[in-house]
Structure 1
Amino acid sequence: MKISVDQYSEEELQEEGVFEWPVWEHEEAKFDWYYDQTELCYITEGEATITTEFEAITIRAGYFVTFPKGLECVWDIHDAIKKHYSFE
């Protein structure tokens, strides 16, 4: 179960309606998280490292991230994060 990170153009994001998705924000913190649905999100501010049993990736503004359903991870937010998100 891998986290996928992509980068899309502003035009592609607009076409997908990403900026109409709800917004989630969180200050610097470290916490466990479980995804009971696949989440698509676009990071607009901040930086965090997401650690799973298989990998540790750092996400930051400009990244489009897909968290698969069933993923268990630890979020370590280094710089207050803000993202648009949607569930599949």
Structure 2
Amino acid sequence: MQIQVEHQPAEAKLNALGVSKWPTWQKEVSVFDWVFHEEEQAYILEGECVVTPTGSQPVTFGKGDFVVFPAGLTVSWEVKQPLHKHYHLDGNLITQSWKRIKAALKR
């Protein structure tokens, strides 16, 4: 499982994916752990981050990058500059909710 970073993707790709219609998320400078229950695609509007997958090397990305986080990935985030991103989660609301419920029950 690897994080994929595409620096400055073509506008045609972003338009074909409908990135401008995806919801956005913001996060202040911070450090926190996270689990990606489903694949997430993100387009970074602002910010700079270092994400370190458990047992792997850190990955750095920032403004203008298109990032894909694989499902099942556990990471530690370091938001170095305030983050603002468009994001898209794999699946629909029902499957996303089910994955989170299952994960919570395993704890």
TM-score by length of 1: 0.95
Residue number among 60, 65, 68 corresponding to 2:67 in the alignment: 65
What aligned pairs does 1:31-50 form with structure 2 within 5 A after superposition? 31-50=32-51
Q: Which runs of 5+ in 2 are unaligned?
A: 91-107
SS of the residue aligned with 1:5? strand
1:14-70 Cα distance to aligned partner (Å, 9 max, x none): 121001000000000000000100000000100010001212011101110000000
Higher relative contact order (CA 8 A, sep 6+): 1
> Which residue number corresponds to residue 84 of structure 1?
86
More strand by share: 1
TM-score by length of 2: 0.79
**RMSD of aligned Cα (Å):** 0.8
Q: Which runs of 5+ in 1 are unaligned?
A: none
- The count of corresponding residues between Structure 1 and Structure 2 is 88
Query: C-alpha separation between the residues in 1 aligned to 2:74 and 2:13?
Result: 29
Query: C-alpha separation between the residues in 2 aligned to 1:54 and 1:26?
Result: 23
Identity of aligned pairs, percent?
A: 38
